[in-house]
Amino acid sequence: MMQELFQTLLDMLISGRDALLISILAESGSAPRGAGARMLAGREGRLWGSIGGGNMEHQALQLAGQLLQECRSLLKQYHLSHDLGMICGGEATVFYQFIAADDPYMQELCASALAQMEQNRDIWLITRPEESGAWQMGLFSREEGLRFIKLDMEALQSCLKRQPLCLHSGGADYYVEPVAGAGRVLIFGGGHVAQALQPLLSKLDFNCWIMDDRPEFAAAELFPGAKKVICGSYEDIGRYIKIGPADFVVVMTHGHASDYTVQKQAMQAQPAYIGVIGSKNKIQTINGRLAQEGYTAAQIAAVHAPIGLPIKAGTPAEIAVSIAAQLIQARAERQPSQRTKALCR
């Protein structure tokens, strides 16, 4: 949950506390966490995140304390069996990045990342890992371009397209990581399942918006942590929400007719994901209506209906878990795996 990372790091720096950011840049074999796993440590110990727990994390925190005392960074390669006695085997490249409290550059970077996340943008974090104080970190977004770091833009754009998340340019290695996938979960319907689903999704770092046409179910107190709760007519949801190509749409209104109304508008907007709650009979009926109105078989098949992974869920809480699991899967498929054999090889 990178928003929490940037906020925690910014708070540390503003309060005058040095930090050590521990990042797995590459892994192979059966490492407990893949590339992109991060942990933030201060002189008081772990403050945020995890790189997999167990002996590797324990030793990483011990080393972090030493590096904080010495005010230095370190790039370290681990063989998990030989170096850490871990039966899982595998290798991991870990960057221990010392960040001084009086570093205005990092404060500005954190603030910029948080502002762009708040605006629902796709951003990438770019790290040039160096053991010396010469390491660099920057941000890229299509709206603001490359900030805080210099890099060949053609090489970067190529890296973003193929997503190995490692780049060699100008004689240096760079680690490129998508840290904030733009896109909201737009939940249409504020009933019991939505009330169970939204807090779970918010804990999973999804940006949740809720809409219902009934004032009593469009109440902010029912959805702690939701970015926005809207009361409005389902007949013209564009008046209230503009569905974008990176959004995830969850349809669970109080009736079949309104589900159908919302689903049609969502399909026209072509978001990243559409899921519709309901029985197989209901879904079959709606699909028949959609076909009669000219929607193709491929368009209809792209909708996840019934929504959620098939785990035999029954209660609202169980249904929420099945939907959350499917959304995690959809998000991961939208952002290709961050696992890579070794950095820039």
**For the ranges 10-14, 150-154, 161-165, 192-196, which has the lowest average pLDDT?**
161-165
Confidence of residue 79 (pLDDT cuts 50, 70, 90): confident
What does the pLDDT read at residue 83? 54
Query: Angle 104-118/2-14 helices, nearest 10 degrees?
Result: 140
Summarised one tens digit per residue, pLDDT across range 20-32 is 999 988 776 554 4
Q: Which residues pair with 113 in a beta bridge?
A: none
What integer pLDDT is reported at residue 56 of this predicted model? 82
Q: Is the pTM of this model over 0.85?
A: no
The average pLDDT across 40-53 equals 91
CA–CA separation, 46 vs 43, rounded Å?
Answer: 8
For the stretch 305-314, pLDDT in tens is 999 999 999 9
| Domain map (residue ranges) of the chain | 2-99, 104-180, 184-333
Beta bridge partners of 68: none
Residues 198, 225: contact at Cβ < 8 Å? yes
Q: Is residue 337 pLDDT above 50, yes or no? A: no
Q: What whole-number distance in Å separates Cα of residue 69 and Cα of residue 63?
A: 10
**What distance lies between CA 199 and its chain's CA centroid?**
16
Share of the chain above pLDDT 90, in %: 62
Flag whether pLDDT at 99 surpasses 90: yes
List, for residues 238-291, the tens digit of each pLDDT value. 999 999 888 999 999 999 999 999 999 999 999 999 999 999 899 999 999 999
Angle in degrees, CA 68, 71, 75, rounded to 5? 85
Three-state SS for 42-87 is ECCEEEEECCCCHHHHHHHHHHHHHHHHHCCCEEEEEEHHHHHCCC
Spatial separation of the C-alpha atoms in residues 137 and 313, rounded to whole Å: 44
| CATH architecture assignment, domain 184-333 | 3-Layer(aba) Sandwich (3.40)
Average pLDDT of the chain? 87
Local structure of 207: helix, strand or coil: strand
What average pLDDT does the segment 34-41 reach?
Answer: 86
What b/e string do you get for 25-48 counting C-beta neighbours within 10 Å, with b at 16 or more? bbbbeebbbebbbbbbbbeeebbb
Regarding predicted confidence, which is higher, 179 or 226? Answer: 226
Average pLDDT of the segment spanning 34-60 = 88
Assign 340 a pLDDT band (cuts: 50, 70, 90). very low
Q: How far apart are CA 246 and CA 249, in angstroms?
A: 10
Q: Are 210 and 194 in contact (CB under 8 A)?
A: yes
Q: DSSP E strands: which ranges in 54-183?
A: 74-79, 91-99, 123-128, 136-141, 145-147, 166-169, 172-180
> In which band, very low, low, confident or very high, does the pLDDT at 87 lie, cut at 50, 70 and 90?
low
The rounded distance, in Å, linking the Cα atoms of 91 and 245 is: 37
Is the pLDDT reported for residue 65 higher than 60? yes
pLDDT at 345: 39
Residues 119/184, Cβ–Cβ less than 8 Å: no
Torsion of CA 234, 238, 241, 246, to 10 degrees: 110
